[in-house]
């Protein structure tokens, strides 16, 4: 039971899980998708991100719950599945894991001649959007996708769902979300991921970071409220 696991162990698990999400998931965009001849493309990046969450949910989900995302932690708190007193410590652990991963990715990527950080796989709208979508488009897709991500998480981990299959549903759900939203914002849903990459970008990513905190947090809250009021039975 998670109640019998120390908060330190939970925070370490969250830090490691978020580290893996950024290091392997975002690393696939920075290191593999940058070379079209390797054939990974944005579909490969979407799959990589989904797999990072799925693998770490299996690995450490039994310790911390496998959030790896401040928006997910907020949504689970609102739904009554997570203790509010641990919200901020989880956020801090997630941010630390993401930033360390981004720093290591920067060191790796900068080992190539002619390296420039550019956008550093950060999120953005307008000129920083892969498809040059505006602020409104970015806010809507980040909010709606995060809301549905929370519904997927809450549904797949409910008492009515097939036992022990939640990481698969969550990972595949995140893959689908990325397939649809990478062209709009480069897909965030995760303030820790957005913060980590924006810190190393040579673009205006930091000035747009507010959206990639506010929209996912609002979306997570809405998803949690929808599940709790209309769908949840546990």
Which pLDDT tens digit goes with each residue over 207-217? 999 999 999 99
Evaluate the CA torsion angle 26, 30, 147, 174 in order and state its sign: negative
Alpha helices in 21-116 (DSSP H): 27, 41-64, 70-78, 87-109
Mean pLDDT (the chain, rounded): 94
Q: What's the domain count of the chain?
A: 1
Radius of gyration (Cα) for the chain, nearest Å?
17
Q: Which residues of 42-59 are buried (b: 16+ CB within 10 A; e: fewer)?
A: beebbbbbbbbbbbbbee
Q: According to the model, what pLDDT value does residue 113 have?
A: 86
Q: Taking the model in full, what pTM does it have? A: 0.94
What's the domain range around 132? Answer: 2-231
Q: According to the model, what pLDDT value does residue 41 have?
A: 84
Q: What is the pLDDT of residues 27-75, one digit of tens each?
A: 998 888 666 666 678 899 999 999 999 999 999 999 999 999 999 999 9
Q: What is the pLDDT of residues 106-164, one digit of tens each?
A: 999 999 888 888 899 999 999 999 999 999 999 999 999 999 999 999 999 998 888 78
How far is it, in rounded angstroms, from Cα 103 to Cα 119? 14
Q: Are 159 and 53 in contact (CB under 8 A)?
A: no
126: CATH = 1.20.1080.10
How far is it, in rounded angstroms, from Cα 32 to Cα 216? 27
In sequence order, what are the residues at sequence separation of 6 or more whose Cβ sits closer than 8 angstroms to the Cβ of residue 222?
A: 143, 147, 150
How far is it, in rounded angstroms, from Cα 203 to Cα 201? 5
């Amino acid at each position: 039971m998670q109640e019998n696991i120390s908060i330190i162990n939970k925070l370490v698990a969250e830090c490691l899980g978020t580290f893996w999400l950024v290091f392997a998931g975002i690393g696939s965009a920075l290191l593999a998708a940058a070379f079209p001849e390797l054939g990974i493309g944005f579909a490969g990046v979407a799959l990589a991100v989904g797999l990072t969450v799925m693998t770490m949910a299996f690995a450490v989900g039994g310790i911390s719950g496998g959030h790896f995302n401040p928006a997910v932690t907020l949504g689970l708190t609102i739904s009554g599945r997570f203790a509010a007193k641990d919200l901020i410590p989880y956020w801090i652990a997630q941010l630390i894991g993401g930033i360390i991963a981004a720093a290591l990715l920067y060191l790796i990527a900068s080992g190539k001649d002619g390296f420039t950080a550019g956008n550093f796989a950060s999120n953005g709208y307008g000129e920083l959007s892969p498809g040059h979508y505006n602020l409104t488009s970015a806010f809507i897709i980040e909010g709606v996708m995060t809301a549905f991500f929370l519904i997927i998480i809450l549904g797949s981990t409910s008492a009515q769902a097939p036992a022990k299959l939640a990481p698969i549903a969550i990972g595949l759900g995140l893959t689908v979300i990325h397939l649809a939203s990478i062209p709009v914002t480069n897909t965030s849903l995760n303030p820790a991921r957005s913060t980590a990459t924006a810190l190393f970008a040579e673009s205006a990513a930091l000035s747009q970071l507010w959206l990639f905190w506010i929209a996912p947090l609002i979306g997570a809250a809405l998803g949690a409220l929808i599940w709790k009021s209309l769908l949840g039975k546990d």
